[in-house]
Amino acid sequence: MRNFKSNYVRTCKYTIYSFLPMALLTQFMRLANIYFLATAILQCVPAVSTLNPTTSFVPIFFVILISMVREGIENYRRYVEDKKANSQPVRVLSTKVSLQALNEKRACTKLQFPEFNTDFPDCYDIIQSKDVKVGHVVLVYEDETFPADLILLGTGGGDGKAYIETAMLDGEKNLKKRTAEPKIAILTNKERFIFHARVMCEKPTHTLDHFGGTVFTRDLKFPLNENFLLMKGASLKNTNWVTGVVAFTGSQTKLLLNSNRGRIKQSRVESIMNKLIIVILIFQALICLIVSILQSTWQARNAKDHFYVDDTRSAGLTLILTFLSYFLLLNTFIPISLIVTLEIVKFVQLFFIQWDVFMYRNDRPAKVLSCTINEELGQVKYIFSDKTGTLTCNKMDLKGIRVYNKCYGDKLIRKVSDAAILPKKTTIVSDGLEFSFADPELRRILSEESPEATEMPYRLVTKTAEVYDLPSDKDRAVEFLRLLACCHEVSGAKADSTEFFTYSGQSPDEVCLVDAAQRIGVTFVDNRDNTLILALGAPDMEKKEVQIKLLELFPFDSVRARMSVIIKDENGNIKLYCKGSDERIKSLLQNSEDDQNIDPVLLGTNNYINLAASKGLRTLYMAMKVIDKEEFEEWSQRMHKVKIMVPLNEEEASEKNEMYKALVSEIERDLSYIGCTVVEDKLQENVENTIKNLGKAGIKVWMITGDKLETAKSIGFSCGMFTREDMDIIQIDEDYYIPDTQVLDEDRILKKFIDSNYKRKKGLLITGMAFEKLLYSSLTKEQIIEYIKQCDSVICCRATANQKAIVVKAMKKACPAEVCLAIGDGANDVPMIHEAHVGIGIYGKEGMQAAQSSDYAIGEFQCLWNLLMVHGRLCYLRISELILYFFYKNIVFTFPQLLFAFRCAYSGQTFYESWYLSLYNLAFTSIPLMLKALFEHDVHHIKDQGLPLNKIYPYLYHLGQGHEIFNFFNIAVWFLYGIIHGCVAFFIPIIAFENKILAKSGPTEHLWIVSITSYSCVVLIVNLKLLTTTRYITWINALGVFPLSIGLYVIAVWVSNYMELFETNDSVIETHRSPLFFISILATVFITFTIDIFILVFNLHIRPNASNFCMIWAKEHNKLTAEESGLRFKELQKLDFIAREEGSLRIFNSI
């Protein structure tokens, strides 16, 4: 037992004892915090600093305190949840519990957990979840969750079947069936166990759909697979109770192995900001070095003339001390509260996105799982989208079937007269399912009592020459429907109000086919102890019930692209049914490839599915074979040996997996084609319009799907990615392989790109395999990507989950300056979502893996428009200007400190009072900036509804996509502005007060009078500058600037006059009595803002960008006629065209 983990669950990072040291360690893993702590410690050295050390420790203490309080609150919440989870009562089989103690536990548990079922046999004890150990036998009732990973032993139904919901693990609400070993199930019930056993399991893995092991009893041993596993966190449904033995506990359970697997992403803006901090740090060090050299030079020349200058120090020591002194004085070049402010702003933006009613779809709001990359949403250049469930509804409707050589169903995919089709009638069966299939010919065939043999017989021959014949159309149709009713993993329940079963499963396609089979003539009733119960007969006919033994099931996965079952029918025939993609199934047929090319049945089928695919429909091939009993028994024995193998290491596990795959491939050979299905998956609402608007915003949409080339191409046209009027479609598929090889003809591909009409748009249609081979061809990746980048739309079909990620990764590397976004709804989209800069998951009908693995989750594809055009654009605008303004205001504040060095002989004397240095960022300038970053707008998506916003927003998106705000040019301009404003705020008070008498009583100016005046100028300049750069001024902004910033500063200044804690005490009244104080402030504001206002008017009215143009349009739209509004829109299009084509950034944008 010592090798097994405790079942104690701990998701909190800290304990009550480790919180303080570990949380502090976490904070000082940030480079910025280390920097500010080092400067605070240096200020404690009198030889280095003239500042009060307390004023340096207060800001760093405040910033770290806020971060630690946030972490502490989050950790406490996790602790409460952990405590609740660990104290959950669990019923464990025990023979030593006393009845009195058990009754006391029952009463106590019922009081603490009222919903807990205490009506259970006396042979069980109640323990807490944290005390559950491997080997315990646990009793779980319906709707309860499993306390650990259990191996199913017995169930309340007596048939060994149980149903579980795994939404907590993978988000899927569809029920999954679990089946106990029949020979064990009959020996167990919840009151007693009459057997002994030993269990050997594979090492725990995070894979939810894989589990292996063996159970050894006195009389038998049998293999374990995932159908025996009851995972921790899953809940029991539609089953009275189950018993199970604990296999894995605590951190070895699949729930915890799949936890905390998210990745930390960093936005491009934040990456540039970090580089900018390093550049400023180097700049600061360089300035300090220059000042140190100047100080050494000055002292060497003038020390003898100034008796108070200490010239006993060596030149080297003086240089070092001066360098450190000014490094401390100028440390405000780097804003200490920037990181905390960014975290707060991005956290609040999270709620703005989640509260957006326009993104509320399918009874779900948008969900933000990672708010660290909000601004990336406003810079997207490429979107990589799945098709099924992302662009389409995942609402399946059977449109047609082909049984051997006969077609039934929708007339659009078969050549029949209109009279042969019944009027279309749609029946909504359940969420995600429709049924509109109707064919009188098939109905007539199935109702025949004595069907005649056809001219084209269907005959299956086993290896021992046994013949299985399907002579008539009815025989073949019934066999085809049997395949649909047997080859699946769905479960069904019959409602009282209808004669039909309602099915649920992991795949909507599978549910659709099983449901269609029951509505046509073969109903799947139940699966009892691996016995399939089928009812033969149309809905309005008398049904015959048959029992079919399920011998093996090989589930579908994206690599195999097929699913198979081996069954034994009521007549004793052993059959293998298989369904999957046409390519995979055709490769398994007994016909050779040459025979398939001349077989009239397969040729007709290929034409049928190609026609269906051209209309955007989904197709599946169906095949079967009959197996000799001797052949199956010999194969089954080998499979059993593989299943009961218990690998002890990864190498043995891999070997077992390969042996299993080889045996499955062996039995799936030499199949005979029997038919195919055609299913429609409709486009989601507003998909075409969304893609069109994304294109106007300069975003290129790629569709990456596993569907056939013809299906993908048809969907491409129907959703607007491809157009027939003005686009050349470049198609690269198997035809571009060199004959008799699997090598691409690169010369032909290059010629295809080069010869395409450069005046027309380009669309690329390529298979996933061809794309992957192109990347590893003799052509350079840059050359390939350069050609592909010329395409307006790209569709990559026949792509596996891994190939989807390869496509995204290739574009990320080829376009490092562009933001790539991936969106999907299924588990096969998770690799692509993880690979992209921004991952979007859609709440899908195929599960919640994509949504849970993403950065943002939405209900439908059309929500992407609001997420990018509104929230993404505003997040970029707000965060970019927040960072720029932070550096600007700190340069304005710090530059007077630097300039004062030239007036104090580089002595290291501070220009500002120590407490003023601390309060500048923490109190006097932070609140209005944060409010601007939260509520800034150029065009308001609610209040400016009079504008054609749907038309306007795409032309405003280039603001972030073209990096028009946060770029190195604008950074330099803001830095230059900070230097100019800092110089004005320093020199005007110096000139105004120098050698002046302040009052009749004779007092003259001194350092703190000039300092308070300069500081007041700085506070006013940066706050009023904030107002002039705010596009959307509300009472909130006014509240932040005046009462909460300037007002707070005025109060603090007057308080400092009466507190000895401040070095400026008794200087404030003296300063305010002088008219020079007010003249200096007015002169400073006038000089700095004369140029500001001129540039603001120039940007808004003379040469505006698209954003500024729309601001003016929004204010005037009520006065404009329809014709004038149309002209404004054309002018907006022109401005956007100039910005995109010329790529020019105007000098004064965003100043």
Cβ-contact 447, 641 below 8 angstroms = no
Radius of gyration, CA atoms only, the chain:
37
- DSSP H helices, 171-261, are 182-185, 254-257
Q: Which of 571, 562, 748, 597 is nearest to 669 (CA)?
A: 562
Distance (Å, whole) CA 586 – CA 619: 13
Distance (Å, whole) CA 1051 – CA 522: 84
DSSP 8-state class, residue 965:
S
Distance (Å, whole) CA 958 – CA 1130: 16
- Phi and psi at 485, nearest 5°, equal -80, -15
The pair of structure tokens assigned to 326 is: 């000014």
Distance (Å, whole) CA 715 – CA 702: 12
Cβ-contact 272, 876 below 8 angstroms = no
Distance (Å, whole) CA 53 – CA 328: 11
DSSP 8-state class, residue 280:
H
53-86 vs 31-42: helix axis angle to the nearest 10? 140
Angle ∠(946,951,953) on CA atoms, nearest 5: 90
Distance (Å, whole) CA 247 – CA 480: 41
Distance (Å, whole) CA 961 – CA 325: 43
Distance (Å, whole) CA 967 – CA 130: 54
| Amino acid identity, position 1016 | S
Q: Which of 952, 945, 937, 956 is nearest to 1126 (CA)?
A: 952
Q: Which sign does the torsion angle of CA 546, 552, 557, 559 carry?
A: negative
DSSP string, 89-158: EEEEE-SS--HHHHHHHHHHHHHH-TTS-----TTEEEEEGGG--TT-EEEEETTPBPSSEEEEEEETTS
| Full strand arrangement of the beta sheet holding 213-217 | 197-201, 213-217, 221-224
- Active site includes 386? yes
Cβ-contact 162, 239 below 8 angstroms = yes
DSSP string, 792-855: SEEEEES--HHHHHHHHHHHHHH-TTSEEEEEESSGGGHHHHHHSSEEEEE-BTTBSHHHHTSS
| Amino acid identity, position 994 | E
The pair of structure tokens assigned to 260 is: 């905390």
According to DSSP, the residues that pair with 400 across neighbouring strands are 409, 678
What is the three-class DSSP state of 249?
coil
Q: What is the dihedral of CA 799, 805, 807, 812, to 10 degrees?
A: 170
- DSSP H helices, 599-722, are 600-614, 629-643, 650-667, 687-696, 709-718
SS3 helix, strand, coil % of the chain, rounded to 5? 50, 20, 30
Distance (Å, whole) CA 1056 – CA 1033: 32
Q: Which of 981, 1046, 983 is nearest to 1019 (CA)?
A: 1046
> What is the enclosing helix (H) or strand (E) of 554?
strand 544-554
State the catalytic residue, choosing from 386, 397, 829, 938.
386
Active site residues per annotation: 386
